[in-house]
Amino acid sequence: MSTNLEKIEALKRIIKLLHEGKSVQELKEQYSDLLRQVSPIEIPFLEQHWNVCLLSIGGRSGQGSWSSGKY
């Protein structure tokens, strides 16, 4: 996974699946390659990047934020 956008999209997918009730173990197995490439420190930066992208296309702060539960 080479770009932040690709990482953001993949992490959003994982978080959505967690909210839908998928097991952590199942997702760890399915996305093990991605999870090895993303450090825990990188996740808030990716979320911030996502929010900046939303603002640049006319979204509001917090709209679409992973932490807000809106995707």
Backbone angles phi, psi at 31, to 5 degrees: -115, 30
Tokens of 47: 């979320």
pLDDT tens-digit map of 2-60: 577 788 788 888 888 888 899 999 998 998 888 888 888 887 877 777 777 767 776 55
Nearest residue to 71 (alpha-carbon basis) of 21, 30, 31, 11: 11
User: What span, in angstroms and rounded, lies between the C-alpha atoms of 20 and 6?
Assistant: 21
Neighbours of 44 (CB within 10 A): 11
* Residue 67 contacts residue 47 (beta carbons within 8 Å): yes
